[in-house]
Amino acid sequence: MTTEGRTERRKFRRTANACIPCRQSKIKCSGNQPCGNCQRRMVNCRFVDSGHRIIIHQPSNTTPFEINGHALSALGSKRPASLAFVSDGPETCPNELPTPPSLLAQHFDSAPYIGAQRPTELSTPTVDGARSIWTSPFTLPSRTIKNTQRNKRNWVWLAPSSTWSFTARLTLLLAEKLELDSPYSAPNFSGEDIYVLRWKSCAPDDPPDISGLPSIDHALYLFNTVKFHLGQSYRFLDETTFVEHLQGFYHGNAAEKAAESRLWFVQFLLVLSFGNAFLSSRCKCTTEPPGSKFFIRAMALMPDHASVWKDSLMAIEVLALAGLYLYSIDHRESAHVYLGQAIRIAQLEGLHTQLPEEEIGLQTVERCRNLWWTLYIMDRHFSSSLGIPMLTRDSDITTVLDSPSACSQRDATLCLQVRLSHLLSFILTTVYKTQKTQLGTFLDKTKSILQTLAGHAREIEKIIYRKFQNSIDTMPRGTRHITLLYHQCVMVATRPLLLSVLKERLDTLTEGDEDWQTILAPTKTLIATGIKSAAKTLQILSDEDSPLEVFLPYDLEFTYSAAIHLAMAQALFPLDPNEHGTRGIQNAHSILSEMASKGNRLAENRARELVYLEGLFAELAKRIERRGLLALSLWNTPQQELQQQRQPDCVSGNTAEEARGRETLSTLEAGGQESSESIVPGHEAGAPAGGDSFWSSPSAPTPTTSNLELLDNIGISSYEFLSIVEQIGKQEYHSILDTGAGMG
């Protein structure tokens, strides 16, 4: 080797510029970029150059979900098809498709939010670099239990993210750690079907039975009832086509119509079954689900799988309707089978792509779009409920999803539900893993999720301000549903932290106490946020002005999920000054009791499961007290509150910045001329905001006191989530979180 070559190598190796992670860990750094230590630990290698800029080298195994917002600018003029799920901002294209939440930050940095300036940059709590967090405290291999139902399945797989499986796993975990007998005596292991359905398929040539049908007026009433309950979230039915068939059936030869349009007649019977189910208040003693009389007749006439696809859009609508009914009566596995077939037929017809309006017509294209996004919402929900992979990848979807700000309130509600469904599936597939995850990595992922939630919160805020300006209306069903789905995303995103604390707590019963300050200091704000969302969920569902949905399972699922979250929190953090846990669980029992009184046997069963889990958590609390272990708390003592009041710029929650934000709102309400730039995050005072902003528009509604009270009551605050993001810390300063052992 030449002298010049040796000199170059020696200079490269002797550089005095050590990377930030090596400095934090106080270990020798090679000075290479990336250095060997960072490559081995799979962390971002960061250097500070002479100009005090931080230079980051991403590990070679970085996935597209971990690339920061600047990746979008590197794509050149061709925009990816995944931007339709991005919340509105200057860079958002409304007619393109979803992107992972970690690519959304740049959009939120330029989007306005309500009633507050950008939160001041808060210091990041110190995190033990060697600490890992169980994003799911249940290890591989997969957990199974013996099947006790009367079928030929030998075992039941307990999926990581399924609510039913989560309850079963939690029951087994607590019973094993507390050394209790017979954990399988819990109500969720009973093995009996809550509702029993059986039907015998008719031969294709058998004439349909048209006896016992309601009058045309009653049929239209049931159809409108179904539209009311399903119309906001599910676009199953093309109203014009359905009513034309209905008129032909009742005003023509009914038997001939039913035989010629057999699949439409199946759809008609399904609509009757849903209509009767929505209006029913059945006795709890029956084992038949509401509306089952017409549902069984419909399923008996359903064409076989080999030929049903030939009916195209009608077949998709019928199969999806059947799947939703089965899901609503807790036949989740069968529901998934029918939904899967509907999605496969939709893919054969190209519904997941952008169809040509010139060739098939605008009306048909709109019908296809509505149907596709309905299937998408159902797929994400059913899959997460069962804990299995989604049927369709987002990268395969190119059909159009309108921007919430560019369409009607009804369409905006659908759009936000699609986006929140996408986010929920992202959380489950990226956060819920069976291996240990570094705490810094987990917080980075949670940060991007909260940024996305902040963007969606702004969209909900806009809908509420548009709808409720100078209005005494109660919240529409669609807005209420996306608000509950929003809080569900918060709970699911923060639940791993709660589970991790629970597992540590259970371990300390036999292994000694733990340094809880190290665990809770960097995460208590996130844990408290999840608890607040659970409490707000139950508060919304308890509102007397917003009737519960008794037949569709979503209000029941929201209630049960929030109740379990609060029960865990109450056992781990009993010193809650706001009584979120106690009052929230009382609300949950009241909701379940009301549903059960209206004939929902699922609610009755969930109530028993909740009581059983509460008993396990009560036993855990007794063991903790008996051992004299430290009582944990997420909430500040009076002395801490006084200290925070003296240092308003360094606290979380109701900061001085938030107060100034409320002053900004007061100025706007009084007709002041507060500059719109002052409430646009990511811009200095006086700098142009850029892009079209809803709130900077002269025609935009002014936030009112009643609007602010409503947003506070339902727990929607884009400001709060951006404040939490700031507390987690900017991504480039997470080196202290990335030190220590890699993924285990």
What Å distances lie between residue 235 and 231, 232, 429, CA to CA?
Answer: 6, 8, 27
Q: Write down the mean pLDDT value for the chain.
A: 72
Paired tokens of 341: 């077939």
**Taking 80 as the threshold, does the pLDDT of residue 273 lie above it?**
yes
**So where are the chain's domains?**
12-62, 216-399, 405-738
**Under a CB-based contact definition with an 8 Å cutoff, are residues 309 and 345 in contact?**
yes
**pLDDT-derived band of residue 194, with 50, 70 and 90 as boundaries?**
confident
Cis ω for the linkage preceding 183 (within 30 of 0) = no
Average pLDDT in the 58-77 region?
37
| pLDDT top residue among 448 and 562 | 562
- Check residue 137 and give its pLDDT: 53
**Beta strand pairing status for 144-146 and 132-134?**
unpaired
Q: Token digits for 240?
A: 């014009």
CATH assignment of 12-62? 4.10.240
Question: What DSSP string runs through 649-667?
Answer: GG-SSS-HHHHHHHHHHHH
The DSSP 8-state label assigned to residue 57 in this structure reads E
At residue 129, the 3 state secondary structure works out as coil
53 vs 49: CA distance, rounded Å: 6
Return the structure tokens found at 16. Answer: 């005095």
Percent of the chain's residues with pLDDT above 70? 62
| Arithmetic mean of pLDDT, 456-470 | 71
pLDDT of residue 742: 32
Lowest mean pLDDT among 119-123, 218-222, 268-272, 312-316: 119-123
pLDDT 10s digits, 715-740? 777 777 677 777 665 433 333 333 33
Looking at residues 162-190, what average pLDDT do you find? Answer: 78
d(CA 234, CA 231): 5
What pLDDT shows up at residue 149?
61
Banded pLDDT at 80 (limits 50, 70, 90): very low
Place of tokens 């608890």: 531
**Lowest-pLDDT range, 6-15, 164-173, 616-625, 733-742?**
733-742
So what's the pLDDT on residue 662? 42
* Residue 498 CB contacts under 8 Å (≥ 6 apart), including other chains: 527, 530, 565, 568, 569, 572
pLDDT tens, 538-558?
Answer: 999 998 878 899 999 999 999
16-44 pLDDT per residue, tens:
578 877 776 657 788 888 887 777 655 67
Specify whether the backbone of 303 is left (phi greater than 0), alpha (psi in -120 to 50) or beta: beta
Q: pLDDT tens, 628-684?
A: 887 788 866 555 555 555 544 433 344 444 443 344 333 333 333 333 222 222 323
| Interatomic CA distance for residues 399 and 364, integer angstroms | 13
Q: Is residue 722 within 8 Å of residue 688, measured between CB atoms?
A: no
Residues whose CB is less than 8 angstroms from the CB of residue 149 and which lie 6 or more positions away in sequence, other chains included: 191, 192, 193
Position 201 pLDDT exceeds 90? no
**Tens-digit pLDDT profile for residues 684-724:** 333 323 333 322 333 334 445 555 565 666 677 777 767 77
Task: Give the DSSP letter string of 589-644.
Answer: HHHHHHHHHTT-HHHHHHHHHHHHHHHHHHHHHHHHHHHTPPPP-SS--HHHHHHH
What would the two tokens of residue 293 be?
């009389």
> In this prediction, what percent of the chain has a pLDDT beyond 90?
30
pLDDT: is 88 or 245 the higher one?
A: 245
With cut-offs at 50, 70 and 90, classify the pLDDT of residue 358.
very high
Question: If pLDDT is split at 50, 70 and 90, which confidence band does 349 have?
Answer: very high
Report the first-to-last Cα separation within the chain, whole angstroms: 41
For residue 347 the two structure tokens come to 């893919």
Q: For position 285, what pLDDT does the model report?
A: 61
Question: Is the pTM here over 0.95, yes or no?
Answer: no
Cα–Cα–Cα angle for 309, 312, 314, rounded to 5 degrees: 105
Q: Torsion angle, CA of 601/603/608/609, rounded to 10 degrees?
A: 120
Residue 156, beta-bridge partner list: 145
**What pLDDT is attached to residue 412?**
82
Paired residues of 438 in beta bridges: 132
pLDDT digits (tens, 9 = 90+) for 505-514: 888 877 665 6
Q: Give residue 590's pLDDT.
A: 95
As a whole number of angstroms, the distance between CA 359 and CA 635 comes to 61
Q: 665-695 burial string, b = 16+ CB within 10 Å, else e?
A: beebeeeeeeebbbbbbbbeeeeebebebbb
Q: 140 or 86, which is more confident? A: 140
SS3 call for 359: helix
Question: What's the pLDDT tens digit per position in 245-256?
Answer: 999 999 999 999
199-218 average pLDDT score:
91
Q: How far is CA 413 from the centre of its chain?
A: 15
CB atoms near residue 716 (< 10 Å) = 26
In the predicted model, what is the mean pLDDT of residues 139-143?
60
Neighbouring residues of 458: CB distance < 8 A, sequence distance ≥ 6: 87, 88, 111, 112, 113, 114, 718
pLDDT at 741 over 50: no
